Amino acid sequence: LGFVTSIVFIFLVGVFVSSWVGASILWLGEWFIKRMPLVKHIYSASKQISTAISPDQNTQAFKEVAIIRHP
């Protein structure tokens, strides 16, 4: 029951944030976090890492496999 409730909750949060109102609230939350002295550095770094790991679907990053030989 707890697992199903968690999945439903995560789904509903995703639906809410994808709407205009949810995106506005998310932007306001990010703005507030970026105003905090110590937290803004940690948040900015973690956001850059997550953006690098999961880029947009239109880019070619992480689309091909390469074999690199090391002597």
- SS3 string, 25-70, reads HHHHHHHHHHCCCCHHHHHHHHHHHHHHHCCCCCCCCCCCCCCCCC
What pLDDT, on a 0 to 100 scale, did the predictor assign at position 24?
A: 86
pLDDT, tens digit, 9 for 90 and up, residues 4-46:
999 999 999 888 878 888 788 888 988 998 898 888 899 889 8
CA torsion sign for 20, 22, 28, 31 is negative
What pLDDT, on a 0 to 100 scale, did the predictor assign at position 23?
A: 82
| pTM tops 0.75, yes or no | no
Reading the block at residue 11, the tokens are 């789904």
Widest CA span of the chain, in angstroms? 55
pLDDT, tens digit, 9 for 90 and up, residues 37-71:
888 899 889 888 887 777 666 666 667 788 888 87
